[in-house]
Amino acid sequence: MPHRYIKKILEARVYDVAVETPLDEARGLSERLHNRVLLKREDKQPVFSFKLRGAYNKMSQLTAEERECGVVAASAGNHAQGLALSARKLGVKATIVMPKTTPDVKVNNVRRLGGKVVLHGDAYDEAATFAQQLVQEKGMTYVHPFDDPDVIAGQGTIAMELLRQESGPINAIFVPVGGGGLVAGIATYVKYLRPETKVIGVESEESACLKAAMDAGERVVLPQVGIFADGVAVAQIGKNTFELAQKYVDEVITVSIDEICAAIKDIYDDTRSICEPAGALGVAGLKKYCQREQLTDQTLIAIDSGANVNFDRLRHIAERSELGEKREAIIAARIPEKPGSFRKFCSALGRRNITEFNYRYSDNDSAIVFAGIQIKPGGCDREELVTHLSEKGYTVEDLTDNETAKLHVRYMVGGHAPAAVGDEVVYRFEFPERPGALMNFLSQLGSRWNISMFHYRNHGAAYGRVLVGMQVGSDDQKLVEQFLDEIGYNYWNETDNNAYRLFLG
């Protein structure tokens, strides 16, 4: 089978629309990591993503009859734009089914490239189901975003380029993974020519479908998929792509949202370009691997896979990048409620800068403060900070890895609820973001239980994030989650979350 794919990669028709992208050295990252770090710049494609390669190669293999029927695909962004441009080049009608939550910038670009856009459903799965319905009803030709041999071969041309561009030894290549088309194509070609080079897939912790499949030895469906890195938000790895990944991918690394944000900043610092969260996975995985293996003096390549990011998401990315680079710690500390306590607390921090300080009077004895503290990159300084403050007599809770603290609590005002608010349960939600979405969410939530706390903040993403407190009697606890399951939004029970307990409960 590898010979079949190698032939398909060598014969892939991608350069009618795609360009050979540069392999640039990331000088800042190289110096910091003490390794030679190279970036394969797929963000420089005409549609700012590698997806153009696979889409065009598949389109070029269609028969005249298949082209005459027109092509259809489901996509929330990059595949849609690649297919629309490919269809325009080949004179084929293209219909793209996109979720209603798709940002206008992507919808408008698909239309600008000549694609017909059909908005359907709130998520990719609903759009994909409708696209298959069009195939059945109108006989249109479906172009899969990743699980197709010709699409895989098109993405594999990236490996063909980078092995030619870097003739010396390559120790490892780090590849973003969503449905697996990119990593399958690259791994198959690289392992055929340079079996000593490691190919490492990198996934978001929120959508690690390849790692789950590798661990289980078979494809599995993730019960829940996070959407921060929307370009790789896939619940199940492809059938063809998994078959190849099992044979040729050495390892799969998962990275957090904060680590992805830090990688976006790293790429910006070295290239002055802003990639999307999915596009930065390779760099995030490379950094994590270097730290784990204590590597030096090796040649490492990360695929910068795309740059289709909404401008208004950059605020959230910038806020989280310091945490991802481990330059900031978030703590809760109890200090005496008396004059001079804040000055004494600052003195205990030594030469560390305070990046944030939130406080509200609670009682006459003590106060709990929410503080952001600048620390040295790495991880040891954070532990030393907590230990040092504890030795000074402060009760300290480390909230740096607490998602509710980072997404909600640090932006909320007020304080502890009065005793009158009893039986409060707290849930964190993600719901599709579009005009009227917040009102629709509240309508879905209904009026059966009193809402005792609410925080919503738009992050410029396809999904909104909400923290909700509700007064629910003990007899209704099970009914609440049954009701929430029926609504169908992703949710987490945060009633026992320390950040909520310390500042809001």
Yes or no: say if 261 and 255 are a contact pair by the CB < 8 Å rule.
Answer: no
Q: How far apart are CA 10 and CA 458, in angstroms?
A: 45
Question: Which run of H or E residues covers position 340?
Answer: none
pLDDT band of 103, cuts 50, 70, 90: low
Helix (H) or strand (E) holding 250: none
The single-letter DSSP state of residue 47 is: T
Query: Regarding the domain with residue range 421-503, which homologous superfamily does it belong to in the CATH classification?
Result: Biosynthetic Threonine Deaminase; Domain 3 (3.40.1020.10)
Nearest to 49 by CA among 277, 330, 325, 286: 277
Q: What CATH number belongs to 2-41+149-322?
A: 3.40.50.1100
DSSP string, 396-426: EEE-TT-HHHHHTGGG--S-SPPTT--SEEE
Alpha helices in 411-504 (DSSP H): 437-445, 477-487, 498-503
| pLDDT at 234 (0 to 100) | 87
pTM over 0.85: no
Percent of the chain exceeding pLDDT 90 equals 53
Strand order in the sheet with 251-255: 23-25, 36-41, 299-304, 172-176, 198-204, 251-255
255 pLDDT band, cuts 50/70/90, is very high
What are 396-434's pLDDT values in tens digits? 989 988 888 888 888 776 667 766 667 888 998 887 666
Cross-strand pairs, 251: 200
Count of alpha carbons within 13 angstroms of residue 227, beta-carbon side: 22
Are domains 2-41+149-322 and 51-142 of this chain identical in fold?
yes
The conformation of residue 113, written as its DSSP 8-state character, comes to T
Q: What is the mean pLDDT of residues 352-378?
A: 76
* Domain extent listing, the chain: 2-41+149-322, 51-142, 326-401, 421-503
Mean residue pLDDT of the chain comes to: 88
CATH architecture of 51-142: 3-Layer(aba) Sandwich (3.40)
Closest to 183 (Cα-Cα) out of 206, 162, 161, 159 = 159
Q: In terms of CATH, what superfamily is 326-401? A: ACT domain (3.30.70.260)
Question: What's the order of all strands across the beta sheet hosting 328-336?
Answer: 354-358, 366-374, 328-336, 395-398
Longest dimension (CA), the chain: 82
Q: Which of 69-78, 143-152, 382-391 has the highest mean pLDDT?
A: 143-152
Name the least confident of 132-141, 229-238, 473-482.
473-482
51 is catalytic: yes
**Which residue from 378, 375, 376 is spatially nearest to 291, judged by alpha carbons?**
378
Sign for the pseudo-dihedral over CA of 296, 196, 55, 176: negative
pLDDT tens column, 163-198: 999 999 999 999 999 999 999 999 999 999 999 999
Alpha-carbon distance of 374 to 382, in angstroms, equals 9
Backbone angles phi, psi at 373, to 5 degrees: -125, 130
Query: What was the pLDDT predicted at 361?
Result: 64
- How high is the pLDDT of residue 270? 97
Q: What mean pLDDT comes out for the span 271-276?
A: 94
Catalytic residue from among 8, 40, 49, 51: 51
Higher pLDDT, 357 or 425: 425
Ranked by mean pLDDT, which of 109-113, 238-242, 347-351 comes out on top?
Answer: 238-242
| Of 389 and 410, the one with more pLDDT | 389
Identify the DSSP state of 253: E
Strands 395-398 and 328-336: what pairing?
Answer: antiparallel
Which of 234, 215, 236, 237 has the alpha carbon at shortest distance from 226? 234
Whose CA is closest to 162, among 286, 300, 289, 18? Answer: 300
pLDDT at 414: 65
Given a contact cutoff of 8 angstroms between Cβ atoms, the answer to whether 91 and 17 are in contact is: no
439: Cβ contacts below 8 Å, ≥ 6 apart: none
pLDDT score of 455: 83
3-state SS record for 174-231 = EEECCCCHHHHHHHHHHHHHCCCCEEEEEEEHHHCHHHHHHHHCCCCCCCCCCCCCHH
User: 247, 331, 324: which is closest to 291 by C-alpha?
Assistant: 324
pLDDT at position 436:
61
Q: Which of 46-55, 131-140, 379-388 has the lowest mean pLDDT?
A: 379-388
pLDDT (average), residues 143-156:
96
Q: What is the model's pLDDT at position 212? A: 97
What pLDDT was estimated at residue 322? 75
**Which one is catalytic: 49, 60, 256, 305?**
305
